[in-house]
Amino acid sequence: MESRLLSERSSVFQYADPHAVSDYVNLHVGQHCIGLSRTTHPLANLSHRKFADLDLCRISYGGSVRVTSPALETSYHLQILLKGNCLWRARQREHHLVPGELLLINPDDPVDLTYSEDCEKFILKVPVWLLEDICAEQRWRRPEPGVRFLRNHYRLDELDGFVNLLAMICQEAEVADSLQRVQGHYSQIVGSKLLSLMSTNISRECLGSPSADLERILDYIERNLKRDLTCEGLADQARMSQRSLYSLFDRQLDSTPKRYIRQRKLERIHACLSDPDCPVRNLTEIALDWGFLHLGRFSESYRMQFGELPSETLKRRGWAAPILSA
């Protein structure tokens, strides 16, 4: 198993200072701190590949080390123990991982891991948005806080074919002319496998099931707001006729789907323009980013909704941007 998960061709560090390796991991894999014994001088090894939206990492610190982090925040970590052992602690629970076991760390989970001297791991980093996009595309329902894995550790023999899939990805990652399109397909497959093989808080009930209601349709819109959402496409996702969709919006919101989507986009732009911490290079860029291709109409729609031009909102936070006409 271990020989198939990244080879020496992906090596970044060999017999290096563990702190240098840790700094690299902080940049590419996940924020953490390491604690080493002052009486030892271990040498660490690390292999790494960026693969479409995923990060593949193989790491050993060469000595006993404790790895901690308040939370990963924007990603999930799937860690496979290849050698040695590792103690995982979390919320009054702990588990001793042995080779052939897998650990899943959710974005909001605190990280507290103690590696043995001979410990070596393979780590797969999966961004939060990738799993959310898969849920949206499959029309699976997820709780508002986001996708969460309910069970944290598995034996690899419980996950039919998953290691073979990871081995294929590692092989493709090390191909000199690997196509981005191929990598993207593999990333989607990995995310879908994770959600189908492992225990999560999502429901695979379709958005368009008989129990679908307006709240679920609005949640779909909110998670895909930057996409080109059409009434036809939205009705197809909800598995209802366009007439039924219009009737639902008219009855519940006194609006149309198109008008509601435009309103929510403008509200997002207004929130960004009003927030000093939200980076804005220019008004044209943010309008186009949210799908407003006719800049004059954008400004007029914004003024009608908020009583001022977008340039005026931006000026109120004390920053002079290139002015958008009208």
pLDDT at 316: 80
Query: Which of 197, 222, 237 represents a domain boundary (last residue)?
Result: 197
Top-confidence residue, 6 or 236: 6
Fill in the amino acid letter for 303: R
Three-state DSSP at 172 gives helix
Instruction: Let me know whether 80 and 188 are in one domain.
Output: yes
CA–CA separation, 229 and 256 (whole Å) = 13
Dihedral (Cα; 111, 115, 121, 124), 10-degree rounding: 10
Q: How many CB atoms lie within 10 A of CB 231?
A: 15
The pLDDT tens digits for 137-176 are: 777 877 878 899 999 999 998 998 899 999 999 999 999 8
Query: Which of 153, 172, 197 represents a domain boundary (last residue)?
Result: 197
CA–CA separation, 47 and 20 (whole Å) = 13
84 conformational bin, left if phi > 0, alpha if psi -120 to 50, beta if neither: left
Whole-number mean pLDDT of the chain? 88
Instruction: Let me know whether 44 and 136 are in one domain.
Output: yes
Q: Is the pLDDT of residue 320 over 50?
A: no
pLDDT at 51: 95
The answer to whether position 324 is within a domain reads: no
Pairs from 181-184 (Cβ < 8 Å, separation ≥ 24): 183/51, 183/52, 184/52, 184/53
Mean pLDDT within 274-282: 82
The answer to whether position 205 is within a domain reads: no
Distances (CA, A) of 263 to 194, 221, 224, 260: 35, 12, 14, 5
Q: Provide the β-strand partners of residue 83.
A: 120
The pLDDT tens digits for 97-107 are: 999 999 999 99
The answer to whether position 323 is within a domain reads: no
* Cα 252 to the center of its chain, rounded Å: 32
pLDDT at 206: 52
Asked if 85 contacts 116 with a C-beta cutoff of 8 angstroms, the reply is: yes
pLDDT at 136: 78
- pTM, entire model: 0.65
Asked if 57 contacts 48 with a C-beta cutoff of 8 angstroms, the reply is: yes
